[in-house]
Structure 1
Amino acid sequence: MQKRKKAWEMPHTYVIIFFVVLFAAILTYIAPAGTFETEEVTYNNSGTEETRTVLIPDSFSTEEGEAVKTTLFEGGGETGLLNYVFEGLVSGDKWGSAVGVIAFIIIIGGAFGIIMKTRAIEEGILSVIDKTKGKEALIIPILFFLFSLGGAVFGMGEEAIAFAMILIPLVIALGYDAITGVMITYVATQIGFATSWMNPFGVAIAQGVSDVPVLSGSPFRILMWIVFTTIGTWYTWRYANKVRKNPASSLSYTSDEYFRKDFEQNDLNVNFKKGHLLVILTVAAGISWIIWGVIENAYYIPEIASQFFTIGLVAGIIGVIFKLNNMRVNDIAEGFAQGAKDLLPAALVVGMAKGIIIILGGDDPASASVLNTILHSAGQIFNGMPEVLSAWLMYLFQSIFNFFVVSGSGQAALTMPLMAPLADIAGVTRQVAVLAFQLGDGLTNIIVPTSAALMGSLGAARLDWGLWFKFIIKFQLLLFGLSSLFIIAAVLINFN
Structure 2
Amino acid sequence: MENKVWKVPHTFVIVFFVVMLAAIVTYFVPVGQFETKEITYSDNGEEKTKTVLDPESFQIVKDEQGNPVHKGTDLFEAGGEAGFLNFVFEGLVSGDKWGSAVGVVAFILIIGGAFGIIMRTRAIEEGILNVIDKTKGREILIIPIMFFLFSLGGAVFGMGEEAIAFAMILVPLMVALGYDAITGVMITYVATQIGFATSWMNPFGVAIAQGISGVPVLSESPFRMAMWAVFTLLGIIYTWRYAASIKKDPVRSLTYKSDDYFRKDMSNHDLNVKFTLGHSLVILTIVAGIAWIVWGVIEHAYYIPEIASQFFTIGLVAGIIGVIFKLNNMKVNDIADGFIDGAKDLLPAALVVGMAKGIVIILGGDSPDAPSVLNTMLFGAGQAIGDLPASVSAVFMYLFQSVFNFFVVSGSGQAALTMPLMAPLADIAGVSRQVAVLAFQLGDGLTNIIVPTSAALIGTLGAARIDWGVWAKFIFKFMLLLVAVSIIFIIIAVSIGL
In the superposition, the TM-score normalised over structure 2's length comes to 0.98
Matched, 1:341 2:339: no
Q: Displacement, 1:8?
A: 1.1
**Could you tell me how far apart the structure 2 residues matched to 1:205 and 1:52 are?**
9
Name the residue aligned to 1:243. Answer: 246
The one-letter code sitting in structure 2 at the alignment partner of 1:22 is M
Matched, 1:105 2:108: yes
Specify the SS of the correspondent of 2:281. Answer: helix
Name the residue aligned to 2:416. Answer: 413
Name the residue aligned to 1:364. Answer: 367
Asked if 2 retains the 8 angstrom alpha-carbon contact of 1:67 and 1:368, the reply is: no
Q: Displacement, 1:67?
A: 4.9
Name the residue aligned to 1:464. Answer: 467
The one-letter code sitting in structure 1 at the alignment partner of 2:62 is E
Q: Displacement, 1:92?
A: 0.2
Q: Displacement, 1:460?
A: 0.4
Aligned pairs, how many? 493
Q: 1:30 aligns with which of 28, 31, 37?
A: 28
Name the residue aligned to 2:294. Answer: 291
Asked if 2 retains the 8 angstrom alpha-carbon contact of 1:171 and 1:178, the reply is: yes
Name the residue aligned to 1:423. Answer: 426
Higher mean alpha-carbon deviation, 46-55 vs 146-155, is at: 46-55
Specify the SS of the correspondent of 1:69. Answer: coil
In the superposition, the TM-score normalised over structure 1's length comes to 0.98
Name the residue aligned to 1:71. Answer: 74
Specify the SS of the correspondent of 2:52. Answer: strand
Identity between Structure 1 and Structure 2 (%): 75
The one-letter code sitting in structure 1 at the alignment partner of 2:146 is L
**Could you tell me how far apart the structure 2 residues matched to 1:366 and 1:374 are?**
14
Name the residue aligned to 1:7. Answer: 5
Name the residue aligned to 1:199. Answer: 202
Asked if 2 retains the 8 angstrom alpha-carbon contact of 1:108 and 1:162, the reply is: yes
Q: 2:381 aligns with which of 378, 389, 401?
A: 378
Specify the SS of the correspondent of 2:56. Answer: helix
Aligned pairs for 1:113-262 within 5 A? 113-262=116-265
**Could you tell me how far apart the structure 2 residues matched to 1:128 and 1:186 are?**
22
Asked if 2 retains the 8 angstrom alpha-carbon contact of 1:275 and 1:318, the reply is: yes
Name the residue aligned to 1:455. Answer: 458
Gaps of 5+ in 2: 64-68
Q: Displacement, 1:62?
A: 0.9
**Could you tell me how far apart the structure 2 residues matched to 1:413 and 1:386 are?**
25
Specify the SS of the correspondent of 2:385. Answer: coil
Which runs of 4 or more aligned residues in structure 1 lie more than 4 Å from their structure 2 counterparts after TM superposition?
none
Q: Displacement, 1:5?
A: 3.4
Q: Displacement, 1:385?
A: 1.3
**Could you tell me how far apart the structure 2 residues matched to 1:345 and 1:82 are?**
19
Specify the SS of the correspondent of 1:57. Answer: strand
Asked if 2 retains the 8 angstrom alpha-carbon contact of 1:67 and 1:369, the reply is: no
Specify the SS of the correspondent of 2:27. Answer: helix
Name the residue aligned to 2:317. Answer: 314
Name the residue aligned to 2:66. Answer: none
Q: Displacement, 1:111?
A: 0.1
Gaps of 5+ in 1: none
1:24-47 CA distances to partner (integer Å, 9 max, x unpaired)? 111111011000000001111112
Specify the SS of the correspondent of 2:71. Answer: coil
**Could you tell me how far apart the structure 2 residues matched to 1:73 and 1:328 are?**
48
Name the residue aligned to 1:49. Answer: 47
Q: Displacement, 1:64?
A: 2.9
Asked if 2 retains the 8 angstrom alpha-carbon contact of 1:152 and 1:195, the reply is: yes
1:98-157 CA distances to partner (integer Å, 9 max, x unpaired)? 000000000000000000000000001111111111111110000000000000000001
Name the residue aligned to 1:398. Answer: 401
Specify the SS of the correspondent of 1:389. Answer: helix
The one-letter code sitting in structure 2 at the alignment partner of 1:41 is I
Name the residue aligned to 1:59. Answer: 57
Asked if 1 retains the 8 angstrom alpha-carbon contact of 2:76 and 2:85, the reply is: yes
1:266-302 CA distances to partner (integer Å, 9 max, x unpaired)? 1323221110001000111100110110011110000
**Could you tell me how far apart the structure 2 residues matched to 1:481 and 1:413 are?**
26
